[in-house]
Structure 1
Amino acid sequence: MFQINTYGDAGMRIQFGEGISKEINEKIRSFCLYLEEVNIPGIIEWIPAYTAVTIIYDPSIILYDALKKRVEAIEHKLGQIDLPVADIVHIPVLYGGESGPELTAVASLNGMTEEEVIAIHSGTDYLIYMMGFIPGFPYLGGMSKRIAAPRLSKPRSEIPAGSVGIAGEQTGIYPLKSPGGWQIIGQTPVKTYDAARQPPILLQAGNYIRFNAINAEEFESIQAEVEAGNYNPQIEKYTV
């Protein structure tokens, strides 16, 4: 599937499929990489999502029909683009207690112990499909259905930065203090978004996250390193 439609008066939406999958994600990443390389005049930005890419353009520079022809030509080149080898970013997490107030509930809901939930959650490499809804928030794929849990019936008005949560069959990290309705099972001392850092966003779509369980003492130690600007998360290359 490669469908192109208008999106408002200065937008174009390219649909690559209907379901969330690694294959569709690779096509979207290839498409965005090509857009970056060719630098089509008039394109202001592009916004990748799970199954589509939205292009925002300047109609005073390029009209819709002309842009559509340029975009259609890209479809046949997607298989020729070599994607860079993905990184795995290790994210330390303190599970349970005040840092993960819903860990007990998630375990009970799925008929497990807290230790079993932690083992499953930290035993997967999660593909970062896209970034949203606030700066640095990763939408991850690959979480086991065995630890799925619904959103909270009443969202919190404030969730601490670094909170690791579950919503349905998804898991993610809150990069900033914000409202939210995900079930919080842990917290990382690592800043996935830091306006004073270059680049400010630690994670990138197409890479992977691996959560590593730590204890309270390790949390405090890493947090101190983070605040001092001396902490660099472990990063390795992803191999199938």
Structure 2
Amino acid sequence: MPETSIERQQLSSPRYGYGGDDYVFVELSEEMSFDANFKAQAITQELRKRDPAGIIEIAPANASYMLQFDPAELRPDELIDDLKQLEDEINLTEYTWKARVIDVPVLYDDPWTHETLMQFRDRHQDPDATDLEYSARINGFDTTEEFIDAHAGSPHMVTMVGFVPGLPWTFQMVPRDEQIEVPKYVQPRTATPSRAIGYGGAFTAIYPVKGAGGYQLFGRTPVEVLDVEQELADFEESMVLPNPGDIINFRKIDRREYDEIRNEVEDGTYEYDIGHIDFRPEEFFEHPQQYNEEILEVLH
């Protein structure tokens, strides 16, 4: 069976807006797509390279980005003019960026998220099924095992970090007709374990801390995505891992491996399996399955 390429999305003209006196918000599309997200990432990465005076913070999102600037150094209208020019300059068929490929082990159907989701069945679309059972059924899978294999079967791009500090949003790198889609809970939970793997819409999220949540719960990872004290070696440069533009490999593990990894994390000796690539959007658009295989080859 021939490989399916990624259908390209024609983006409309960006919408530029103001946020008070010191923010500019740019919406590239009302709909999430690889084109919109890759364009947001390319523009914000290029801004970081150029490091223009007056820019305080650069925040890419799923189909948009926001800048904080110093109004004493930059006029917002002039900044928007520069952004329009940069938007015209960037061509995704030619753009590349350096991406980390990060292995994230996952214990699917783990006891902690299972206990939590069972406490909140009255807030769920299907009170008689688990989150995995419900998600598998509405996506046309015969078993939860097949559904888990599909979720872990292809890498996921980190499209943004936010909502709560250190929470990565990831979008699976497959054609649109292969995307998993599930709704959020009818009413959010008041509790979610830290490091839970949740899914809402077409996004996987890793909950960095314990708290409320509304995404379907699939499992739990033993590794951290937020290390405020930066005690683990891989958090030396930033308290957040991963970051937008990085690629996640959700790898299915058993309870024995989960406990082994968690013990290493807690005693500070765990080292993440991280590879590095020059990510080429055009190669991904043309041959996603083949390119995904090449991406994962950089992991140990």
**2:168 corresponds to which residue?**
138
The equivalent residue for 2:3 is: none
Residue 51 of structure 1 pairs with residue 63 of structure 2: yes
Residue 83 of structure 1 deviates from its aligned partner by: 3.1
Partner of 1:152: 185
Q: CA deviation at 1:145?
A: 5.8
TM norm structure 1: 0.89
Q: How does 1:33-182 map to 2 (within 5 A)?
A: 33-79=45-91, 82-101=95-114, 102-110=131-139, 111-142=141-172, 147-182=180-215
1:158-186 deviations in Å (ceiling 9; x for gaps): 21111001213322211111110111110
Match of 1:205 in 2: 244
Which 4+ residue blocks in structure 1 deviate beyond 4 angstroms?
108-111, 143-147
Mean CA deviation greater in 178-187 or 103-112: 103-112
Secondary structure in structure 2 of the residue aligned to 1:118? helix
Mark the CA change 1:13 to 1:164 in structure 2 (over 3 Å): closer, same or farther: same
* Aligned twin of 2:9: none
The partner residue of 1:193 within 204, 221, 226 is 226
Q: Contact 1:148–1:168 (CA<8 Å) still a contact in 2? A: yes
Fraction of identical pairs, as percent: 30
Which of 137-146 and 167-176 deviates more?
Answer: 137-146
**Cα distance in structure 2, aligned partners of 1:24 and 1:54:** 14
Unaligned 5+ segments in structure 2 are 1-12, 115-130, 231-235, 280-290, 292-300
Name the counterpart of 1:184. 217
Question: Structure 1: which 5+ residue stretches go unaligned?
Answer: none
Report Cα offsets for 1:116-157 as digits up to 9, x if no partner. Answer: 121111102111111111122111112776753321223221
Greater fraction strand: 1
Q: Residue 182 of structure 2 aligns to a residue in which SS?
A: coil
Contact 2:190 2:211 in 1 (8 A): yes
Please give the alpha-carbon distance, in whole angstroms, between the structure 2 residues aligned to 1:60 and 1:94.
Answer: 50
Q: CA deviation at 1:19?
A: 2.6
TM-score, structure 2 normalization: 0.72
Q: 1:14 aligns with which of 21, 26, 29?
A: 26
RMSD (Å) for aligned C-alpha atoms: 2.3
How far did residue 219 of structure 1 move? Answer: 0.6
